[in-house]
Amino acid sequence: MQRMDAPAGRLVGCLIAVAASAPLVAWGGCPRQVWEDTDFDHREAVIEGISLDGQGCVYTAASTWSSGSMDDWVIRKLSPDGKLEWTRTSSRDSQGGAAQEEAPASKEQGDPYGFDTALTTRMRAARAAGRLREKSLPDRARKIAATSDGTSYVAGAVRGQLDAWIVRKYATAGNAKWSVQIQVPGDHKCLTWPMGIAIAEDGGVVVAGDTCSTGAEGDDWFVCRISPQGKMVWHMVHRLAKGFTDHLSEIGSDRQGNIYVAGSGDAITTSHGWTWGLVKLSPKGEVIWTVTGAGASFDSGRYDLAVSPNGDFAVSGELQRDQEMLAMYSGQGRPLWAVKAASGDLALGDEGQIILAERGGQKTLSAYSGQGQLVWRSDVPTTRVLAAGGGRIIGGDGPQVLAYATDGPCPQTVVLDTRPPALEEDTSAPTLAVAELEPLGVSKSDAAVISDMLRNAIVAEHSFRVVEKAQMDKVIVEQQFQQYGCTSEECVVRLGKILNVRYLVVGSFGKALEQYILTVRIVNVESGQVLQSNSVQGKDLAGVQEGMNQIAKRLASLTRKR
């Protein structure tokens, strides 16, 4: 696994306050309320999920309460102008008449995903003895996600069943297509529920949350993918920190189907308390990279993220110790900018604006440009969950749904410096470039992926100023240089001089005898001397990733020796 630790002091935003009206970009104004949903007859309700389809229709997932316990989930669809189109509940259709199932609801039995069969057997015995309440209906609608055509997926918990989730698919007209119950791995001693949901590139859905374990292993992240037909495609359990408990906060996806996960973990082996983490998964559920940093505390370990179609993403939370921040990362896991901002729920606007609803007592809605500029900040009724699109911002809090246009007047207010915030750079660190690894028995695309992962692992050591791949490619094209096959000393030195770096990393990635092999050399461009040579191998990508991290640490040791 590639692990990139973000040190304190690297996420630094411009924090100069100026008394001026916020500069206006993209949407041309500040929030103006255009409608409020007042038809929700379940006053004792909490909206926990909200989503928009391609036509601007609003989908909400809420749970109703009665005498302190959850009774039902309520799924509602509103038109773009706030008119109720349909309502569905887990037990009945509040419009009158049950929603028709187009496919039979499937309740997975036994141990369909290779989890602990003995635990499943113990649960059955407990139910048979009457120690567990047995009801098949879900009791908490936790998350909702809509596709562009109006298909919606709801993920929630199952009443009376420990470590059980349910995912239900609704057609655009509100009829239930199918329901799938998921038994989450763990020792089945507490309730758990989904914390995030995202649409997959094939129209299916990815659902994520925590396992529930009280044993030595503690809680971990659990992520699973379900096909459009309601079949389990894959599942994975991920351990973020070395402590007892991990908490998954939110997930998102890009147009290629990659999945981004944010959360925290109990890093009891360090002096920092809790660790926050970001993980990117491939559409197949493979870990591509991991970014971690010290800073989270148990009470504020809630993180939200919003992913753009190209894979860049914003994250909100306590990214430094006792310091809440809003940060932007590239799809390769590299920090682009960060500003101090109260943590809250995030959504992306039509043109890449980052909408932040602060969770604190300020009840503030803010918008930032994709470059980190504060566009506007406005005091509005608090919004606990967010969605944005079609020139609208949709917020939900308690049983209310509020819609805002972004053409209202902007108040005179103290705002952040509007210059794009920059990350601190250690100009004393030597420059380094990573050439594309030579593919040996693997495809060029596979070798390119490993090259990028190696580049990120070296960046994580913060010992070199590493040249971005895009900049490398631009220079190489301009110089009409062919870097593949560049293995001789003369060629390596020439490439390093073209890139104007002190050190150049070259090597190969291949497969032989069912083993993946990564070989890396670091060359002093001025002298042509090979300063270090390393080779690692593994049976799978995880083994290669672990060895790659060790290579990055060895390369970093060169700067400490000098």
pLDDT digits (tens, 9 = 90+) for 427-437: 578 899 999 89
267 pLDDT tier (thresholds 50, 70, 90): low
State the average pLDDT over residues 114-124: 37
State the average pLDDT over residues 329-347: 87
Q: Could you identify the residue written with the tokens 């983490």?
A: 277
**Token digits for 309?**
């179609």
| Number of residues that this document lists for the chain | 562
505 pLDDT tier (thresholds 50, 70, 90): very high
Say which range, 100-104, 230-234, 346-350, 486-490, has the weakest mean pLDDT.
Answer: 100-104
Say which range, 86-100, 150-164, 217-231, 344-358, has the weakest mean pLDDT.
Answer: 86-100
State the average pLDDT over residues 543-553: 83
Model confidence pLDDT, tens digit, residues 34-44 = 888 866 655 56
Q: Is the dihedral of CA 400, 406, 412, 417 positive or negative?
A: positive
Distance (Å, whole) CA 280 – CA 506: 26
**DSSP bridge pairs for 72:** 64
- Write down the pLDDT at residue 397: 72
> Is the pLDDT score of 290 beyond 60?
yes
**Which of 8-22, 179-193, 522-536, 548-562 has the largest mean confidence?**
522-536
Map out the domains of the chain as residue ranges. 1-63+242-421, 86-99+114-238, 431-561
343 pLDDT tier (thresholds 50, 70, 90): confident
State the average pLDDT over residues 473-498: 82
Q: Where are the alpha helices (DSSP H) in 168-252?
A: none
State the average pLDDT over residues 158-162: 65
Q: How far is CA 277 from CA 4, 285, 342, 377, in A?
A: 9, 17, 18, 28
Is pLDDT larger for residue 340 or for residue 300? 340
Nearest Cα to Cα of residue 241 among 272, 202, 198: 272
Average pLDDT, the chain: 76
- Write down the pLDDT at residue 39: 64
Distance (Å, whole) CA 508 – CA 515: 14
- Write down the pLDDT at residue 139: 63
> Is the pLDDT score of 395 beyond 90?
no
CATH homologous superfamily of 431-561 equals: ABC-type transport auxiliary lipoprotein component (3.40.50.10610)
> Is the pLDDT score of 145 beyond 90?
yes
- Write down the pLDDT at residue 178: 93
> Is the pLDDT score of 22 beyond 80?
no
Query: Is beta strand 58-66 parallel, antiparallel or unpaired with respect to 45-52?
Result: antiparallel
- Write down the pLDDT at residue 44: 60
State the average pLDDT over residues 25-41: 68
Q: Where are the beta strands (DSSP E) in 159-231?
A: 164-170, 176-183, 196-199, 205-210, 221-226
- Write down the pLDDT at residue 155: 94
> Is the pLDDT score of 562 beyond 80?
no
Is pLDDT larger for residue 199 or for residue 100? 199
Is pLDDT larger for residue 291 or for residue 129? 291
Nearest Cα to Cα of residue 257 among 232, 235, 230, 286: 286
Q: Could you identify the residue written with the tokens 């859905």?
A: 205
State the average pLDDT over residues 275-299: 80
> Is the pLDDT score of 419 beyond 70?
no
Say which range, 78-87, 162-171, 400-409, has the weakest mean pLDDT.
Answer: 400-409
- Write down the pLDDT at residue 415: 38
Distance (Å, whole) CA 360 – CA 366: 13
396 pLDDT tier (thresholds 50, 70, 90): confident
- Write down the pLDDT at residue 265: 79
- Write down the pLDDT at residue 41: 59
Residue 237, burial from CB neighbour count under 10 angstroms (0-12, 13-18, 19+): middle
- Write down the pLDDT at residue 275: 78
> Is the pLDDT score of 401 beyond 70?
yes
> Is the pLDDT score of 270 beyond 50?
no
Distance (Å, whole) CA 558 – CA 464: 10
> Is the pLDDT score of 324 beyond 60?
yes
Q: How far is CA 475 from CA 124, 503, 506, in A?
A: 64, 16, 17
Say which range, 14-18, 252-256, 259-263, has the weakest mean pLDDT.
Answer: 14-18
**Which of 54-68, 176-190, 247-261 has the largest mean confidence?**
247-261
User: Which overall architecture, per CATH, does domain 1-63+242-421 show?
Assistant: 6 Propeller (2.120)
Model confidence pLDDT, tens digit, residues 299-313 = 445 789 999 998 999
Is pLDDT larger for residue 519 or for residue 473? 519
User: Which overall architecture, per CATH, does domain 86-99+114-238 show?
Assistant: Beta Barrel (2.40)
200 pLDDT tier (thresholds 50, 70, 90): very high
Q: Where are the alpha helices (DSSP H) in 435-488?
A: 444-460, 469-478
Model confidence pLDDT, tens digit, residues 57-112 = 999 998 776 544 446 788 999 999 999 999 988 754 433 333 333 333 333 333 33
Phi then psi for 381, rounded to 5 degrees? Answer: -55, 140
The CA-based angle 186-190-192, given to 5 degrees, is: 75
